[in-house]
Every structure is written in C-alpha cells, then in structure tokens.
C-alpha cells in the first residue's frame, strides 16, 4: 500500500480564476469552429420526400404544387430539388392550416421544461421540441433561464461573451421593463426566436427576494408570467428551459406555464430526485396561492418523458415500472433512446434535427429522430386541444354580447 503523503491546501482563488480563463479559451476555440451561425450553425434543407412528410401530403402533390407558383418551387441547383427551412415552413403552414393557432381566438401556450437534476436531457428536450414544433409551422419563442446558458449555446450564442444583460430575462426580473419582448433575438433556425441566458442571471436569485421585501403586494412568482403577456400574442408556443433546481426563477417558469415537460431517465437516483421535485414544488405552489387567497394553479398537461433510455439495461426496465406506477397517465407512451447519434449531435452543440444528411447512416439518423418526432406530435396534439378550448371560450363570450 502506498504511503499517504500530506496534502496541503494550496489551490487559491487565483488558480481557480486561471482555470476558468483557460476553460473559457477552449470553449471559445471550439465555438469558433462549430457554433458560429455564419460558419457552421446552419439550418437544414429538405427534399421533396421530407417536405411531403412534414406537410402530410403525397409526394406527387408537392411536385404538382411546385409548378403553380404560389409556393416556393425549391432549389434545383443540385441533383434533386431542395427547400430551405423557411420555404419548408411556408409549405407546412399552407397545407396544414387546421393545425395552426388562430391569434384572434387563442393565445400562445407556455411550456416549461424542468427537473431538479442536470444531465437528464432537459436542454436538449427543450431545443428539439422547439425545432420540431417550428417544422410543423408554429412560431416558437425559447427562453433560457439557466445561468449556465446551455440552451443559448445550442443556438450558436456564447453566454459569457455574446449576451448582454438586456438580452436576458434579468431586466424583467429587476422591474426595469414589464415585457420580455425587448430581450428577444432571432436565431439561425427560422421560426424560433430566443431570449438568451448568461452567468449574470445568478443575480435574479437575489433580486426577486429583495423586491419581495421592499415592494408592497409584490408577487415574485408572477413576474415572468406577466412579462410574457405580449409574447403570447406573437408566438404560438413559448418554451422555457430552467435551471436544475427549484430556484426563484424555476418557480417563476413553472407558474407561467400551462404545460410542464419533465425529462426523466429511468434510473433510481433520477427517479428519487423527481419525487423530491414534485413534493417541494407542490408545497411551494400551494403555500403561495394560499397566502394570496386565490385559486390554485392548474395545468393543461404534465408530461413525464422517459429520456436517455438504454433498452439493454435491465435495471432501467425496473425503474421504468416505478416511474409508471408513480406518475401513471402523465408518463408519455414515448421513450427517447440513448443513442450514439444523439451523443454526436450533442458533441456538435446541436440536436438530431441539426444533423445533416450524410453525417450518419440515413436509417440510423431516422431512428434517432423518430422518437423526438413522436414526442413533438404528442405535444402538438395537446397544443391543439388548448387552442380549441380557448377558441370555444372566446366564441361563447362573443355570443353573450
């Protein structure tokens, strides 16, 4: 057995600062080759088969309508016709109008993606859901509320150097503005706008309780909800990615939502953590509404999404049964598998929707996307139900006037 050597405390803050600087330099180097929107971070293009699948029509109809001149005809500069993301979304919106929101009858829906733990595919789920919904014709706003800025990074923006305070939710949290809209920025992906995050968002955890103590009748948990009102008129869907904790910001994001998505890998520790999450949040939520003397918060859906599922893992199969027993009908009949394709996409700061044809075997890539497509379709159906309910209420109100 090796002789134990004395281990003195020699690592000071200056050395930690040096480590942080070196890490930032490496991230910047990687970003310069992978993340720059003008260089590498580009949206996909679609062939006629892919366009027909998204538009839910036969390929022959795409070929027929391409010659009519009312819709983009596609680029014929290659061996086969291809449509840009923007052109594809125009086709989908034209051919599937029944799936779209009527702004005159219903507002945009807020979905919060939350989990106590990191490493459960929370950010990837938020990004992929936004991309999938945009491919179905919806206009999406992504809000990154995690100071780590992982979602911001996925969309080609470096949180440490390319995000100013006024491009985050912080001015809204501080009470400097009453709308999220000034912080909105476009992204490389047509149909998706972003409110970015940066490390400075840690300040929100001090600002909100400070305002609670100083401002009469201030409700710290309603700040984000109220600030989203203008965005609900502009966007069909607003997706909020949260920090891996039940922070003041996470509470705000959950209180603003009509639907919750919790990605949950089927392992024992993540399952136990999820139980703690729901227990703490229900207590906090109940206390806040009880103190305010108002009706409790209600959600249109709560989706528990099994993520990072390893089909060959016997233990995960057992934990999956625990999850279903605990959460019942809230567990989606969809599982996101743990695949090498997803790992590759993540390493390239993207999702499976970002991967270009030729970067993997077509069948392998299709299998990786199929699970997310089913998840997006499920959420799309839920969105349609919310909009239908809103429209019914709106028509009834108009009928009484």
SS (H, E, C) the chain: CCCCCCCCCCCCHHHHHHHHHHHHHHHHHHHHHHCCCCCCCCCCEECHHHHHHHHCCCHHHHHHHHCCCCCCCCECCCCCCEEEHHHHHHHHHHHCHHHCCCCCCCCCEEEEECCCCCCCCHHHHHHHHHHHHHHCCCCEEEEECCCCCHHHHHCCCCHHHHCCHHHCCHHHHHCCCCCCHHHCEECCCCCEEEECCCHHHHHHHHHHHHHHHHCCCCCHHHHHHHHCHHHHHHCCEEEEECCCCCCHHHHHHHHHCCEEEEEECCCHHHHHHHHHHHHHHHHHHHHHHHHHCCCCCCCCEEEEEEEEECCCCHHHHHHHHHHHHHHHHHEEEEEEECCHHHHHHHHCCCCCCCCCCCCCCHHHHHHHHHHHHHHHHHHHHHHHHHHHHHHHHHHHHHHCC
pLDDT tens string, the chain, 401 residues long: the values are 556 555 455 545 455 566 556 655 665 665 555 544 444 578 999 999 999 999 999 999 998 998 888 899 888 766 788 999 999 999 999 999 999 999 999 999 999 999 988 888 999 999 999 999 999 999 999 999 999 999 999 998 989 889 999 999 999 999 999 999 999 999 999 999 999 999 999 999 999 999 999 998 899 999 999 999 999 999 999 999 999 988 999 999 999 999 999 999 999 889 899 888 888 888 888 888 777 666 678 889 999 999 988 877 777 788 888 999 999 999 999 999 887 776 666 666 778 898 876 556 667 777 778 999 999 999 999 999 999 999 988 888 877 54
Instruction: Write down the pLDDT at residue 5.
Output: 54
Ranges of each domain in the chain: 45-70+79-95, 97-399
Which two structure tokens, joined as six digits, stand for 39? 């260089």
Instruction: Write down the pLDDT at residue 11.
Output: 46
Instruction: Write down the pLDDT at residue 1.
Output: 56
Task: Give the residue from 276, 221, 283 showing the smallest Cα distance to 248.
Answer: 221
Topology of the domain comprising 97-399 = Rossmann fold (3.40.50)
Instruction: Write down the pLDDT at residue 92.
Output: 97
Which two structure tokens, joined as six digits, stand for 372? 């997310």
Instruction: Write down the pLDDT at residue 400.
Output: 52
Instruction: Write down the pLDDT at residue 358.
Output: 59
């Amino acid at each position: 057995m090796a002789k134990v050597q004395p281990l003195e405390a020699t690592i000071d803050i200056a050395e930690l600062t040096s480590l942080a600087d070196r890490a930032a330099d490496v991230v910047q180097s990687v970003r310069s080759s992978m993340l720059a929107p003008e260089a590498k971070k580009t949206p996909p293009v679609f062939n006629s088969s892919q366009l027909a699948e998204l538009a839910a029509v036969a390929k022959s109809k795409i070929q027929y309508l391409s010659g009519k001149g009312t819709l983009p005809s596609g680029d014929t500069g290659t061996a086969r016709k291809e449509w840009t993301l923007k052109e594809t979304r125009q086709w989908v919106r034209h051919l599937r109008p029944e799936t779209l929101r009527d702004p005159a009858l219903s507002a945009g829906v807020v979905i919060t993606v939350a989990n106590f733990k990191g490493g459960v595919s929370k950010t990837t789920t938020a990004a992929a859901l936004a991309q999938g919904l945009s491919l179905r014709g919806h206009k999406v706003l992504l809000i990154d509320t995690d100071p780590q800025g992982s979602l911001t990074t996925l969309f080609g923006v470096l949180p440490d150097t390319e995000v100013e305070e006024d491009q985050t939710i912080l001015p809204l949290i501080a009470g400097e503005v009453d709308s999220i809209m000034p912080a909105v920025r476009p992204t490389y992906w047509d149909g998706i706008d972003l409110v970015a995050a940066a490390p400075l968002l840690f300040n929100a955890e001090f600002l909100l309780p400070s305002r609670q103590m100083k401002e009469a009748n201030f409700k710290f948990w309603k700040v984000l909800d109220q600030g989203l009102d203008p965005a609900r008129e502009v966007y069909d869907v607003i997706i909020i990615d949260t920090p891996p904790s039940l922070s003041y910001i996470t509470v705000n994001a959950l209180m603003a939502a009509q639907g919750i998505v919790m990605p949950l890998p089927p392992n024992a520790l993540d399952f136990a953590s999820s139980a703690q999450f729901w227990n703490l949040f229900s207590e906090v939520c109940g206390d806040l509404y009880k103190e305010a003397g108002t009706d409790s918060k209600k959600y249109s859906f709560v989706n528990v999404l099994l993520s990072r599922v390893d089909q060959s893992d016997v233990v995960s199969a057992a934990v999956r049964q625990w999850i279903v027993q605990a959460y019942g009908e809230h567990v989606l009949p969809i599982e996101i598998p743990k695949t090498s394709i997803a790992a590759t996409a993540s390493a390239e700061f993207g999702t499976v929707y970002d991967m270009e044809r030729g970067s993997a075997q077509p069948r392998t890539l299709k299998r990786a996307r199929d699970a997310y497509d089913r998840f997006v379709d499920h959420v799309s159906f839920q969105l349609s139900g919310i909009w239908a309910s809103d429209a019914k209420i709106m028509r009834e109100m108009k009928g009484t006037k």
